[in-house]
Amino acid sequence: MTLRFAAILVLLSCVGVLGVAGTINQFTLVEAVNAKLPPNEQFDAIGSWLPKSLRLHRQYRRLYPEGGLLTRQGVLAYAMLFCIVVAGAILGLGFLSVGFFGLSALALWFLYFKH
């Protein structure tokens, strides 16, 4: 039981570290887009909801067609999701509980990688 607990603790710690890295990347993304937009069209660094994220991603892809910040954000999100799924599997959650995260993976694909 102690080894399982240690593995879960490490995985959830990785989720936290990846979350901080994702937040820093998000701030960098907003900063990069705002550098090329007029002041009245710039994005706030704080706050994230789906319509704002989609607009931000659209602007980033338009302004930086070869940019890698969105890909990095997606990889960080997938790594976080992977750690959560593995921790859930170690905890013994059922297939449907862990499978729910598969829908999240599909949503992440459309949000970060599908152009």
Both tokens assigned to 57: 């991603």
**pLDDT given for residue 110 in this prediction:** 77
The number of beta carbons lying within 10 Å of the beta carbon of residue 55 is 13
When mean pLDDT is compared across 3-12, 47-56, 95-104, the lowest value belongs to: 95-104
> pLDDT tens-digit profile of 10-62?
999 999 999 999 999 999 999 999 999 999 999 988 887 888 888 999 999 99
Q: Which two tokens stand for residue 7?
A: 């593995």
pLDDT score recorded for residue 64: 94
Domain count, the chain: 1
Q: What range does the domain containing 57 cover?
A: 2-113
Q: Which residue has the higher pLDDT, 72 or 106?
A: 72
pLDDT at residue 29, as a whole number: 94
Which range has highest mean pLDDT (15-24, 76-85, 86-95)? 15-24
Q: How many CB atoms lie within 10 A of CB 71?
A: 11
